C-alpha cells in the first residue's frame, strides 16, 4: 500500500517545493526592495550588530563577514554572528534587519532562551537523521510488501519525526529573534517610521521560509504515519 502511494509523496514534496520557491523569491525581492532604503544614521549591518550586542551587554560574541547571499547566521558553538557581505557592509534597511535578527539569536543564547537550547541540542541527531532519510525511505518502499515492511516504515517515521520536530522548534526561535530585533530597532531609534516598517516586512518574509519548511515536514510525516496505519489494516 505504501509503495502504491509513492506518487502522493512526490506530489506533496513538489507542492511544498513550489511554495518554498515562491516564498524564497519573495524574500529576495523584499531584500532588494529595502536595500534601496538607506539608514538615517548611515550604519552598516556590522555596526548595527555591534550596537545591539553592546546594548544587551553581550560582549563574548564575534561579528564576522561570511560569504554568499543571505547566508547570515548565528553559531552558538563558536558564539559568532556571520553576516553575508551585502549585510555586513550594507547601509540600508535590509542589512539592519538581517543583522539585528542574527543578533537576536545571540541575545537568546546569552539569556538561555529555552527553545534555542533545545534546537541546538537536537542538531547532532538531526544531522544523522537527515543523512538517513532517503535511504530509509527507499528501503520502506522496497520492503513495503515484506514482513519487514512495518518495521522499516516505523524507522522512517522516527527519522522524519526528528527532522520535523526540529523544523517546528525552529519557528518560535526565529519569530522570537525577529521580535527582539524589531523591538531593539525601535527602542534604540536605529530604525523608525518607514525604516522600521520595512525591516518588519523583510523579517516577516524571512520567517515564512521557515513556516513553509515546517509545514512541508509535517505534511510528509503525516503521510508516512497514515501510510503506516493503513498498511496494518
pTM here is 0.90
pLDDT in tens, the chain (233 residues): 444 556 777 888 899 999 999 999 999 999 999 999 999 889 999 999 999 999 999 999 999 999 999 999 999 999 999 999 999 999 999 999 999 999 999 999 999 999 999 999 999 999 999 888 888 877 877 776 777 777 888 888 999 999 999 999 999 999 999 999 999 999 999 999 999 999 999 999 999 999 999 999 999 899 888 877 876 65
For the annotated catalytic residues, the residue numbers are 102
Q: What is the pLDDT of residue 231?
A: 65
In terms of C-beta density within 10 A (0-12 exposed, 13-18 middle, 19 or more buried), how is residue 187 classed? Answer: exposed
Q: What is the pLDDT of residue 232?
A: 63
Q: What is the pLDDT of residue 153?
A: 83
Amino acid at each position: 500500500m505504501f509503495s502504491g502511494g509513492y506518487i502522493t509523496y512526490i506530489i506533496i514534496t513538489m507542492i511544498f517545493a513550489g511554495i518554498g520557491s515562491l516564498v524564497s523569491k519573495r524574500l529576495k525581492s523584499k531584500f532588494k526592495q529595502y536595500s534601496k532604503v538607506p539608514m538615517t544614521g548611515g550604519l552598516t549591518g556590522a555596526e548595527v550588530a555591534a550596537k545591539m550586542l553592546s546594548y544587551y551587554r553581550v560582549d563574548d560574541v564575534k561579528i564576522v563577514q561570511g560569504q554568499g547571499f543571505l547566508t547570515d547566521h548565528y553559531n552558538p558553538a563558536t558564539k559568532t554572528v556571520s553576516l553575508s557581505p551585502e549585510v555586513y557592509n550594507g547601509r540600508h534597511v535590509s542589512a539592519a534587519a538581517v543583522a539585528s535578527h542574527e543578533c537576536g539569536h545571540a541575545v537568546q543564547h546569552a539569556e538561555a532562551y529555552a527553545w534555542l537550547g533545545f534546537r541546538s541540542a537536537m542538531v547532532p541527531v538531526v544531522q544523522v537523521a537527515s543523512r538517513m532519510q532517503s535511504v530509509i525511505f527507499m528501503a520502506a518502499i522496497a520492503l513495503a510488501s515484506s514482513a519487514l515492511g512495518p518495521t522499516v516504515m516505523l524507522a522512517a517515521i522516527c527519522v522524519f519525526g526528528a527532522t520535523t520536530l526540529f523544523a517546528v522548534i525552529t519557528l518560535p526561535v526565529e519569530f522570537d529573534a525577529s521580535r527582539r530585533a524589531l523591538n531593539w530597532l525601535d527602542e534604540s531609534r536605529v530604525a523608525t517610521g518607514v525604516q522600521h516598517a520595512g525591516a518588519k516586512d523583510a523579517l516577516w518574509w524571512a520567517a515564512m521560509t521557515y513556516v513553509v519548511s515546517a509545514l512541508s515536514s509535517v505534511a510528509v510525516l503525516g503521510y508516512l504515519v497514515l501510510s503506516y496505519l493503513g498498511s496494518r489494516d
